[in-house]
Structure 1
Amino acid sequence: MLRNREFRQYALLFSLIAVAAATLGFTINTAAGLLTIASTTAFGTVFFAFTKNRYDSIAHISDQIDLVLHNADHLYIGESDEGELSILQSEITKMTLRIREQNDALKKEKEHLADSMADIAHQLRTPLTSINLILSLLENTPDEKERGVLIRETKELFIQMDWLLTSLLKLSRLDAGIVFFQNERINVHRLINTALHPFLIPMELHEIALQVDVPKEILIQGDYCWLSEAIQNIFKNCIESIGDNGKIEIICEDNPLFTEITVHDSGTGFEKESLPFLFERFYRGKNAGATGYGIGLALCKTIITRQGGTITAKNHPLGGAIFAIRFPK
């Protein structure tokens, strides 16, 4: 306590007042002087004990804060009976809990970032290895037809890498919160047609039948471009799943609670073990031969949920997979 300059000044002032009061008391009579000395001594003792207790409490809080600054695993600040210190301790406890939660969140983010970087490196290594092998074959392949096939395969690999990097960039922008979605009225029929347009030729080449049942008058609220991107990822997943001679059915229904878009394909559906993880990043299923990068559905869910919608995926009772997107009214 004596290290506190204000306390030393108060102690000096109290001593001077006590001496002056005792002197004045003795000038009156001895009893008055003794009573003054006893009163000032009692008051000084009570004040010293009270102040020391407060300083001890403050020192304890200071020690606990120091532990927090040094990343202590356990923190406990006891309750105080004093009003001022009780409020102070309550606020410090809230602050330390918030700091701990933020530290835990930062650790999880660092771990997630490290895992994501490892996954990205793995995803890029696969096509790069294939490209390196194809380039080696090109050097030793004199036949022009074979060289043409190898060059087309190389172009396809570069297209896949470009799609992967573009999707990862979009995910990173969404995670960083720098994407601002437009809130506009969207005609669902036009939205579906826009999302389908890039796949019409591939679907025709693979003889994939398409059935669309989307009324022209149904409207939803959202960002047209980003929702088109999300639905395109669903179509891409379905086309890759069903292969040749398959079928895709798109239905949109509207009711007073929500608007629902369902996409049903005739593929093999999902493995039961994969259902809880379909929308996780880089998840490609238990099958070692699974295609894709595990990015499209994760990007799709992020886009839809950020605009207040929901998306689910499951196996259809009649076979194949079915995706359901809902936008509440």
Structure 2
Amino acid sequence: MLRNKEFRHFAILFIIMAAVTVMAGFAVSPAAGILVLITDAAFGIAFYVFTKARYKSIAETADQIDLVLHNADRLYIGESEEGELSILHSEITKMTLRIREQNDALRKEKQHLADSMADIAHQLRTPLTSVNLILSIIENSSDENERKALLRETEELFVHMDWLITSLLKISRLDAGIVVFQSENIDVSALINSALRPLLIPMELHNITCHTNVPEGAAILGDSGWLSEAVQNILKNCMESAGDNGTIQIVCEDTPLFTGINIRDSGQGIEKEDIPRLFDRFYRGNSDKATGYGIGLALCKMIITRQGGTITAKNHPEGGALFVIRFPK
């Protein structure tokens, strides 16, 4: 306690005042002097004991804060009686718990970043390995038709890699919170046509029929460019599921509470164990026939939910997968 400058000053002042009062008491009479001496001593001892207890409590609190700053796993600040010190303890406890939560969140984010980087490296390594294999086959092949077919396959792999890198960059921008979505009134029919336009040729090549049913005047409030990409990613997934000679149905619901877009394919549906994780990043499903990179649907959900909408997936009672997008009015 004597290290505290204020306490030293108070102790010196108390000693001087006690000496003066004791001398004044003895000047009056010996009994008065003895009474003043006993009173000053009792007051000094009581003040010392009380101050020492407070300093001990403050020291314990300081030790706990130091442990928190050094990433200790345990935090305990004992409760005090009502008063300013109790209020201080309460505020420090809140602060340290908040610091602990932030540290835990940072550790999780760091681990998530490391896992994501590993997933990205794996996702890029797969098509690169295929490209290297194809190039070695082309080098040793003398059949011109085979070489052309392999070159087309290589071109498709590079297109997929370009899409993967672009999608990852978009997800990174969304994660960083630097994307500003526009808020505009979007005609659902125009939105679906915009999403379908780049897919018309692939759908024709695979003889996939698309049926749309959109009520006139149905609209959604959001960013048309980003929402068009989200719908397009769902349609790509449905195309892969439907396969050759398949069908895709797009039905819009326009109710007083929400505007919804239901997209259904004629494929085999979604495995039951895959439904809860279908929109997880880099999740490709447990089936050996699973294709893709686990990026498109994750990006799709981020785009929709961050504009106030919802998206769910399930199996249609009559077969095939059903994606349900809803935007409240």
Same fold (TM over 0.5): yes
Amino acid at match of 1:6: E
SS at match of 2:102: helix
Question: Hey, what does 1:41 align to over in structure 2?
Answer: 41
Q: In structure 2, give the amino acid aligned to 1:296.
A: G
Q: What whole-Å deviation, never above 9, does each CA across 1:163-194 have from its counterpart, x for those lacking one? A: 00110111111111111111111111111110
Matched residue, 1:53: 53
Deviations 1:278-298 (A, max 9, x none): 000111111123110010000
Partner of 2:258: 258
The alpha carbon displacement at 1:315 in A equals 0.6
The answer for the alignment partner of 1:319 in structure 2 is 319
Residue number in structure 2 paired with 1:17:
17
1:65 matches 2:49: no
* Map of 2:84 onto structure 1: 84
Q: How does 1:154-303 map to 2 (within 5 A)?
A: 154-303=154-303
CA contact (8 A) 2:229 2:300 kept: yes
The offset of 1:45, in angstroms, is 1.1
Taking only aligned residues, the RMSD between alpha carbons, in angstroms, comes to 1.0
Whole-angstrom CA distance in 2 between matches of 1:214 and 1:310: 19
Match for residue 101 of structure 1? 101
* Displacement of 1:162: 0.4
Name the amino acid aligned to 1:214.
Answer: V
- In structure 1, what is the Cα distance between the partners aligned to 2:283 and 2:82? 55
Letter in 2 for 1:321: A
CA deviation vs aligned residue, 1:53-106 (integer Å, no higher than 9, x gap): 100110110111111112211111111004111111111111111111111111
Counterpart-to-counterpart distance in 2, 1:72 and 1:297: 40
Secondary structure of the structure 1 residue equivalent to 2:156:
helix
In structure 1, the gaps of 5 or more residues are none
By how many angstroms is 1:305 displaced?
A: 0.6
Query: Per-residue deviation at 1:324?
Result: 0.2
Q: Deviations over 1:176-218 (max 9, x none)?
A: 1111111111111111110111011111111111111012301
User: 1:175 and 1:274 mapped to 2: Cα distance?
Assistant: 24
C-alpha distance in 2 between matches for 1:82 and 1:6: 24
Describe the shift of the 1:82–1:2 C-alpha distance in structure 2 as closer, same or farther (beyond 3 A): farther
Secondary structure of 1:269's aligned partner: coil
Letter of the 1:250 partner, please give it: I
Match of 1:121 in 2: 121
The count of aligned residue pairs is 329
TM-score by length of 1: 0.98
Match of 2:4 in 1: 4
SS of corresponding position for 2:220: strand
Give distance in 1, aligned partners of 2:163 and 2:241: 18
Output one character per residue of 1:280-321: Cα deviation in whole Å (capped at 9) or x when no partner: 011111112311001000000011111111000011110100
Code of the aligned partner of 1:183:
S
Q: Aligned partners of 1:139, 1:65: CA distance in 2, in Å? A: 66
Code of the residue aligned with 2:181 in structure 1: it is: F
* C-alpha contact (below 8 Å) 2:215/2:254 kept by paired residues: no
Shift of 1:271: 0.6
Q: Which amino acid aligns with 2:158?
A: F
User: TM-score, normalized by length of structure 2?
Assistant: 0.98
Letter in 2 for 1:99: I
1:308 aligned residue:
308
Contact 2:308 2:327 in 1 (8 A): yes
- Secondary structure, in 3 states, of the residue corresponding to 1:156? helix
Letter in 2 for 1:81: E
Rounded Cα–Cα distance in structure 2 between residues aligned with 1:24 and 1:181? 82
